[in-house]
Structure 1
Amino acid sequence: MSLLLVTTALSVVMLLVLSSLTRSEVAGIREWKQANLMAVVALLLFAARGAVPDVLSIELANALYLGTITMICAGFRRFLGLPVPWRLLAGGALGALSGVVFFHYMVESAALRIVSVSIFHGVVCAAIGIAVRRPAEPRLRYPFAFTRCAALVLALGHAWRAGFYIVDAYQPYSLLEASFYNLVFFAVGTLALPALTLGAVMMANARLIAASAHAADHDHLTGAASRRAFFAFAERELARAERRGSGLGLLLVDADHFKRINDTFGHGVGDLVLRDLVERTQQVIRKIDYCARLGGEEFAVLLPDADSRTVLAVAQPLRAALERAPQVAPGAGRVAYTVSIGVAMLEPGENVAGLMARADAALYAAKAGGRNRVEVADAPEKPGAPPPDGLSGSPGARA
């Protein structure tokens, strides 16, 4: 009785926790809430065995509890983006409930009623464990692993429970008897829902955190990395390049006459041009390269493990690819645009700010030289040396 009441309290707590996630738009929350609501009613009916008619404490209670594992499974399937096999789940639940009814009214056997219910619960738990696979996102791995292990352990527990009771199917048995084995198997049956719900909450919370981190690290318009994420990545790559003695290149890419595009076609088309720029850039650069939007129409591409030849082999094709006029919007026609690119290679002892400053100067030179071109930055100035010709202008004069 104490275990029933504790489990009921846990289900109420899980219901309140899930209610706090209702507005998060995480798929599966609704089904998990419904499962815990049904569990609260079912557990109270189980606890009332002997005080209420058997049809309530046996048939209705078991029907509701079969519904809980059904809805839990449906919630996980929706969360994972998988189709919910409603007919299969409903058929299995009805089959298990039919066993409960048969072994209550036709052939009295409380043990076989447990077997009927345990088989369905075990199969569904196994299905959940199989469906919850290892995710690619590191933030999701622990909650997914916890849920998968919990589901598979519960499946084994239900199989053991069914096997145990089928051996002594016709021995007298009471739901609330105080024997050790009954307590263990009762815990397997009643604590399954809180354990799976805990896994569901952990998975939902991890996905929300991952989504928030992704939003913070990516530009919402183009999908490129954000300025903050770029500088964090650049610092890590700089440290790695210094440790390994490898090359590190930087491209600063700026759309030419972007204001003219906005004024001529509207800001909606301008946004589509920026998206197109990022999409084409991702197609040209290497998989290990890192593309970010620094602001406005200016983008950066960091190239780890690259020498000057590799960097130019990326920069020149990128400029050529972006020169082609794309069809960016229905009715807008072909909106031609070009980019200017400033290239800089990391020099010994240089920091990210210095690398950015030289690439920015090269970009300014590309703008001043007629746009739609690639300019390579000079090596850092030595102390006391005069600035190189053509690079002393203000970057703010860039069009």
Structure 2
Amino acid sequence: MIAPVNLLLIAALAGVLSLCVLGSLARSGMAGIKETIGANLLTLLAFFAFGLQNTSAPLWLTILVPNMAIALALCAYYAGVRRLMGLGVPRHLMMIGCGVALTVLVVYTYVDWQVGPRIIAMSFLQMGFMMAVAHTIQRNMPVHRSRYSYRFVWVVALISSVVCVARAGIYLADIAVPEGILEPTFWNVAFLTLGVLVMPCLTLGTIMIIHDRMLADREQEANTDFLTGLMSRKAWWMQAERYCAQALRTRRPLTLLLLDIDYFKRINDTHGHMAGDAVLRHFGLLATATLRTGDHVGRVGGEEFGVLFPDMRGDAVMDVAARLLDSVRRTPCSHGGSTISYTFSAGVAEWVPGENLQVFFERADRKLYAAKAAGRNRIVGPGLDAERPQLPVAA
């Protein structure tokens, strides 16, 4: 049977390795990393102080300090999880729990020496924090991303809770005689083996969650146009290819609206490039407010935008485009004390079964240029040409 002091040394080594990895992630500025680092440092302090129990060190150092370090480590880790999920931290509730545990420790160390109540109090405290961690993780798992790392932390927290309940129950029922943590009894070694693995495993799960969040942020940056907040050209194009493939399988309609802001160079020359950027952002907001959630809109050029309408025919898209053009005309952009009115020209094309995205895009592009050639501020749709452009709203 491995000695408890050796278990503490192994756990301390695992904690040091966890700190090295967390330190490499600290520069990312991700919420929750600092708290997790603090939890590991406090756990290392607890292991060191526990290791002094068979020496002549005072009781406050070998009992109060390590147990309160564990309590504060639980607080720090739970706070880190809450912050990582973008939630508030219930500091008052955590302080009450730690205060009750500290009171029990002091009473049964200096007033009435008993090991059992101290073990039971710390077991219930850890159980409470682990249940809170599991509940927080379960309520905030991502919907559209892998949940592996979240489930890992959830399982570790639940197992730790069960172990704490079992430990408290065994000592409440007098199944085992409470002994100091360094005594090589069966129950000590069993619970210590499981206990020292908790923080390294939780830290590993947190590192995986942080890595997943960082990857999601990078993907979001790559898929989002930094100026308008709409889909980037690459992300939009990839989505369009998926929709074309889906339309080919299901034979369901797919329509493309391609639009270009009219006289955009004149806006830049007259009002400045910052005003031009403001117009692009303004259009992005109007498009997001006007279009359906499932209508994928992206910035495909400097002042050119594409919108995919799955399950919609060309005539329905013409109505939507007319509403968008009317919204743009009625809601000018405000910038630097000036009001900038603008319009757009657009082309609408329905997908033809078997047609690749490039040909589909070029057909919509030709209709867009037909709208420009016909005087701008209009939409050319399916079945219409440059000589007979549709004017969705009065000029």
Same fold by TM-score greater than 0.5: yes
SS at match of 1:176: coil
Closer/same/farther in 2, CA of residues 215 and 389 from structure 1, 3 Å limit: closer
Task: Give 1:340's aligned residue.
Answer: 345
Mapping of residues 56-205 of structure 1, within 5 Å:
56-132=61-137, 133-168=139-174, 171=177, 173-205=179-211
In structure 2, give the amino acid aligned to 1:247.
P
Task: Give 1:239's aligned residue.
Answer: 245
Task: Give 1:385's aligned residue.
Answer: none
Task: Give 1:314's aligned residue.
Answer: 320
* Structure 1 range deviating more: 252-261 or 187-196: 187-196
TM-score (norm 1): 0.90
Structure 1 residue aligned with 2:273, among 249, 267, 273? 267
* Structure 1 range deviating more: 93-102 or 9-18: 93-102
**Displacement of 1:245:** 0.7
Mapping of residues 202-221 of structure 1, within 5 Å:
202-221=208-227
Structure 1 residue aligned with 2:286, among 280, 283, 289? 280
8 Å contact kept, 1:224–1:278: yes
**Displacement of 1:146:** 1.9
C-alpha distance in structure 1 between counterparts of 2:142 and 2:279, whole Å = 31
C-alpha distance in structure 2 between counterparts of 1:183 and 1:313, whole Å = 73
8 Å contact kept, 1:247–1:345: yes
C-alpha distance in structure 1 between counterparts of 2:91 and 2:114, whole Å = 29
Q: Are 2:46 and 1:42 equivalent residues in the alignment? A: yes
Number of aligned positions between the proteins: 382
In structure 2, give the amino acid aligned to 1:304.
P
**Displacement of 1:377:** 5.1
Structure 2 residue aligned with 1:12, among 8, 13, 16? 16
C-alpha distance in structure 1 between counterparts of 2:290 and 2:124, whole Å = 54
Per-residue CA deviations over 1:86-128 (Å, capped at 9, x if unaligned) read 2221221122122122212222222221111111111111111
**Displacement of 1:348:** 2.6
**Displacement of 1:58:** 1.2
**Displacement of 1:45:** 1.6
Per-residue CA deviations over 1:332-383 (Å, capped at 9, x if unaligned) read 332111011111111132110001111111111111111110012569xxxx
SS at match of 1:358: helix
8 Å contact kept, 2:279–2:333: no
Closer/same/farther in 2, CA of residues 126 and 171 from structure 1, 3 Å limit: same
Q: Percent identity?
A: 38
In structure 1, give the amino acid aligned to 2:284.
V
In structure 2, give the amino acid aligned to 1:217.
N
Closer/same/farther in 2, CA of residues 298 and 389 from structure 1, 3 Å limit: closer
Q: Are 2:33 and 1:24 equivalent residues in the alignment? A: no
In structure 2, give the amino acid aligned to 1:19.
G
* Structure 1 range deviating more: 208-217 or 286-295: 286-295
Task: Give 2:361's aligned residue.
Answer: 356
C-alpha distance in structure 1 between counterparts of 2:240 and 2:56, whole Å = 69
TM-score (norm 2): 0.91
C-alpha distance in structure 2 between counterparts of 1:134 and 1:99, whole Å = 34
8 Å contact kept, 1:227–1:294: yes
SS at match of 1:295: coil
8 Å contact kept, 2:373–2:386: no
In structure 2, give the amino acid aligned to 1:317.
R
C-alpha distance in structure 1 between counterparts of 2:269 and 2:171, whole Å = 78
SS at match of 2:145: helix
Task: Give 1:395's aligned residue.
Answer: none
C-alpha distance in structure 2 between counterparts of 1:224 and 1:180, whole Å = 61
- Can you give the 5+ residue segments of structure 2 that lack an aligned partner in the other structure? 389-395
Closer/same/farther in 2, CA of residues 340 and 270 from structure 1, 3 Å limit: same
C-alpha distance in structure 2 between counterparts of 1:62 and 1:117, whole Å = 8
8 Å contact kept, 1:255–1:338: yes
SS at match of 1:139: coil
**Displacement of 1:168:** 2.4
Q: Are 2:375 and 1:370 equivalent residues in the alignment? A: yes
C-alpha distance in structure 2 between counterparts of 1:19 and 1:93, whole Å = 27
SS at match of 1:21: helix
- Can you give the 5+ residue segments of structure 1 that lack an aligned partner in the other structure? 380-387, 392-399
